[in-house]
Structure 1
Amino acid sequence: MPNATPFPPRSFNSLEHLADWIGETLQCPVTIEDANHRLLAYSSHSPHTDSARIATIVGRRVPEAVIAGLWRDGFLPRLLASSEPLRIPAIPEIGLGSRVAVAIRHHKDVLGYLWLAEDPLRPEADYNSVLSEAAAAAVPKLLQLLNHAKRNQESHQDFFWQMLTGHMISHAYIESKASAWGLNLPKLYQIAVLQTEHNVTEQQLGQLHYVISTAGAYSIPFMTADGPHFIVMTQALPTSDAARKFYTFLDKTLSDRFGIALRSFGFSNPSDHYGHTVAKYKEALDVLRFRQRHPQEGALCVVHADLGFYRYLPVIAEHNQASGYTNPSLLKLKAYDQEHNSALLLTLQTYLECDSHAKRAAEALHIHTNSLNYRLKRISEVGSIDLEHMNQKVTLYLDLKADTLHL
């Protein structure tokens, strides 16, 4: 290591000044990042600059492939767990040359990272003392940035809650407020509710923010938490499969990196009106609750539209209850079953669920097709039902479902 010039603790004017001082002192390129790997400052290049550093400077953040590689190989967990500089060997598949890195800490909190690209001609140089001193000197500047970002985040969360609860319904005002904050609202958005095992902590909300912001593939203007729920506004995902992949990505990454287990989810339908956020939030909760209460029927439900006719069951059930209505045909079949210890009601429901396909219904009931046909004849006679009449079949099916399934 070249002879270091005397270090002036906390006397630099900016993080750029600090990065330049470290680079000149150690004769190696340096980058300073925040805790979410956004680039804050960097020194000049050297002839040995690698593609990871170039991509970081051009994109103003560390590429996701580099972050994923550092997590995969265990270097980021080690950085998070240690206050000492860590030497990281080159990882050619992600374009990363050898590095020496140190976490910038304030007590137990990691505020950011300081990365030094090693000179391959001096692989065993000792940079640790300078990097440790520089990391300590960077703390006040990063605390200023963190406090400003935290105030903004709290303002964003408060504003988001006003949208979620229907206290902020002006599309134009929401757009103007987001623009003033520098938030890029997507033209189409969805609300996603992600269920965890326990109540979400502030730290876990920060970890979700870290995972999403470092991925770089999703536009997430707002996020918050309520009890065991992460609540996220995301750009509209084109299909239910894309929404499921988004959930799967978050589930795996949060589990692998932070031990956070997601249990279920619900996505709203897309919308282009930010005044409808409260309705979209309810849609996402409806999907989540349906998936939890009815795992078999809910397994294929991702966005609210996937619920199909189940969206209307609460209305049907509420109307039936308010008017004291029960389908008379179903009442007759239920009474017959109780008196004769038969299964006509179950047979009817299974037959309708199998789209009136006798062979499939018989297999589902584990009976012979002839036995099914006999039961269908008794159902028609006892319940005064015409199983060739579509309106009757639809009405019976919805009334059956309204009796047994609710959102």
Structure 2
Amino acid sequence: RLLPDEHIYRNLNQIVCIHEIKPGETQAGFREEMEKLYQTVQKQIFHRNKTTDFQIGIGSIVNGYGDLKKSFKDSKKIIDYMDMIRYLYGDKNISVADFSKLGFFQIFEKIKSRDELMEYVPESLVKLYRHDKEHDGELIETLQAYLDCDKSANKAAEKLYVNYRTLSSRLKKIKDISGIDFKNSAEMLAVRNGIVLFKMAETL
């Protein structure tokens, strides 16, 4: 009823929609339609007092039915990476994700070994990961919040629900353990990308 002109297939926990791109239709326009669909379905779920986490994954555009399997796999992959997408865009409420938006991270999604993927994560982050694992710490989470807040310690402290002194202490520990230079823009880019790769590795 919501998508009268589409090919719809359903099973217990997923709905598959095959959409034929029409002349003049843009990918942005289709994504907007999916956003509207998501809002409609979420309202129906809410009215039924359900807590289902409904997500929409948009696969890659393919030519012909022969490549539909690839697009379907891509749509499932992007849903697996939903937490990573939310981090990339700084919006924890994102529930509609497009595989094409992975950008150069599509290169890494082809890697199926967690250890191999971790080889691309900066050593500074690996050190923090080891420390967190050994001491049940929160340094990577703190680093991510700090970067998400444009390196504002006050905003990061608010986001993590800790006081400024605690946040400052964690940042000092991050510097001491990892050697990260927060003033180096190139290193900051590598660290941000590394956090994304780390999240991808966690899904393997």
Aligned counterpart, 2:35: 244
Amino acid at match of 2:158: E
- Corresponding position: 1:285 with 2:81: no
User: Normalising to structure 2: TM-score of the pair?
Assistant: 0.62
Would the alpha carbon gap of residues 403 and 294 (structure 1) be closer, same or farther in structure 2, given more than 3 Å must change? closer
1:266 and 1:286 in contact (8 A); partners too: no
Separation of aligned partners in 2, 1:361 and 1:396: 17
Q: Structure 1 residues 281, 329: closer, same or farther in 2, change over 3 A?
A: same
Q: Does 1:400 align with 2:190?
A: no
Paired position in structure 2 for 1:328: 123
Q: Report the TM-score, using the length of structure 1 for normalisation.
A: 0.36
- Deviation (angstroms), 1:266: 2.1
Match of 1:299 in 2: 93
CA distance in 1, matches of 2:146, 2:81: 23
Partner of 1:375: 170
Q: Distance in 2 between matches of 1:338 and 1:268?
A: 34
> Cα distance 1:300–1:313, how it changes in 2: closer, same or farther (>3 A)?
farther
More strand per residue: 1
The 1-side partners of 2:37 and 2:187 are apart by 41
Q: Go from structure 1 to structure 2 and tell me whether the alpha carbon gap of 1:262 and 1:391 turns closer, same or farther (over 3 Å shift).
A: same
1:232 aligns with 2:20: no
CA deviation after TM superposition for structure 1 residue 406, in Å? 2.9
Q: Does the 8 Å contact 2:56/2:96 carry over to 1?
A: yes
Instruction: Tell me, yes or no, if structure 1 residue 362 matches structure 2 residue 157.
Output: yes
Q: Decide which of 337, 346, 350 is 2:141's aligned counterpart.
A: 346
Between 1 and 2, higher relative CO (CA 8 Å, sep ≥ 6) is seen in 2
Query: Helix, strand or coil: the match of 1:244?
Result: helix
Q: Does 1:219 align with 2:16?
A: no
User: How many residues matched?
Assistant: 187
8 Å contact kept, 2:124–2:180: yes
SS at match of 2:96: coil
| Distance of aligned partners of 1:296 and 1:372 in 2 relative to their CA distance in 1, 3 Å threshold | same
How many angstroms does 1:342 deviate by? 5.8
Q: What is the alpha-carbon root mean square deviation over aligned residues? A: 4.4
1:361 deviates by 0.8
**Corresponding residue for 1:268?**
58
Given that 1:351 and 1:358 are in contact with CA atoms closer than 8 Å, whether structure 2 keeps it comes out as: yes
1:369 Cα offset (Å): 3.6
- CA offsets, 1:125-170, max 9 Å, x none? xxxxxxxxxxxxxxxxxxxxxxxxxxxxxxxxxxxxxxxxxxxxxx
Question: Matched residues in 1 for 2:52 and 2:165: separation?
Answer: 47
Once residues 398 and 357 of structure 1 are traced to their aligned partners in structure 2, the CA distance between those partners, rounded to angstroms, is 19
Greater share of residues in helix: 2
Q: Report how far residue 371 of structure 1 moved.
A: 4.6
Deviation sequence 1:7-62 (CA, Å, 0-9, x none): xxxxxxxxxxxxxxxxxxxxxxxxxxxxxxxxxxxxxxxxxxxxxxxxxxxxxxxx
